[in-house]
Amino acid sequence: MAAAREGRRGACVEDDLERVAAALRTSNPQTRLHVRADAGVGNPALYAWCDAGGHAFSCGIGPNSKLNGWAEPLRRRAEEQYARSGTKQRLFAVRRYRARSWSRDYGVIAKAECGAEGTNLRFMVTNVKVRTKAAAEEAYDAYVKRGESEQRNDELKNGLAGDRLSCHRFTANFLRLLMHTLAANLLSALRDDARVPQELRTARPQTWRTKIVKVAARVTQTTRRVWIELSSGWPHWELLRAVARRATVCARAP
C-alpha cells in the first residue's frame, strides 16, 4: 500500500523528465532540456537533476523575508514611477542567492510590476547565467510563456470536462480520461494550421463546441455516402468548411 502524500509537497517530475530527455537523446545525443515550471514543481531535487544532466531550469519561487527585503527598493521604485507617469511599470533585478535547502547558489530574478491593478512582486530562480537587468527581463518573459501549455491543461479539465471521472471502477475512469485526452489532442491538431480561421485557432473548446460541433443537422446514410445536411441560413458555413479541409489533411497524415 502506497504511503500517504501530503498535498503541500511539491511535484516529483524528475523521473518523467528523464524519460523525455532519454527519448530525445536517441535522435540527438546532445539534446538538453530547459525546464520551465511554477513554484509547485520547482524544488531542490529538480534543480539538482537539471545540474547533473546539463539541463537548464527556470522556476518560480515563493517569497521570503530575505528576498522581500532585497526586492523592496525595486517595488518602491516601480510604485513611484507609476505614480509619476500613470503608465504600467515593470522593473527587474537579479542577484545570486542560496536557500538552505539548495546545494549551491543560483540566479534569482525579481520582477516588480505596478499598474492600475496594484503592485505585483514575483521571483524566479534559474541556473542560466543572467547578469544584467535586460537579460533578467528576457529570461523572465521566456519563463512566463510556459503559461501557454498550462492553458492546454485548463482546456482539458474545464473546456472538455476531463475531470468527469465519476465511474466506480478505475478502468472505466481511465478510459473516460483517455477519450477526453484524445479530444484535446484532436482539437490541438485541427486548430494548429494556418488554413483554419484565426477566430478558431485561438478559440477555447467552448467556442468550437458552439460553432462547429453542436449544430442541428440531418444525417442520411446511403450505400456509398453519408450526407450531412445543414440549414442554408446557418452562419458558420465557412468555419465548418475550413475545419473540414483541415480534418481531411489530418486523416491522410501518416
Q: How many CB atoms lie within 10 A of CB 207?
A: 14
**Looking at residue 85, what is its pLDDT?**
95
For residue 227, what is its C-alpha cell?
450526407
Query: DSSP character for 94?
Result: E
Average pLDDT, integer, range 198-211: 89
Tens of pLDDT, residues 80-90: 999 999 999 99
CB 60 within 8 A of CB 36: no
> Which has more pLDDT, 85 or 4?
85
Q: Is the per-residue pLDDT at 154 higher than 70?
A: yes
**Looking at residue 101, what is its pLDDT?**
92
Q: Report the C-alpha gap between 44 and 100 in whole angstroms.
A: 10
CB 128 within 8 A of CB 56: yes
The pTM (predicted TM-score) of the whole model is 0.67
**Looking at residue 5, what is its pLDDT?**
46
**Quick one: which of 130, 147, 129 has its CA closest to 60?**
147
**Looking at residue 50, what is its pLDDT?**
96
Contacts of 150 (CB under 8 A, 6+ apart): none
**Looking at residue 1, what is its pLDDT?**
38
**Looking at residue 170, what is its pLDDT?**
93
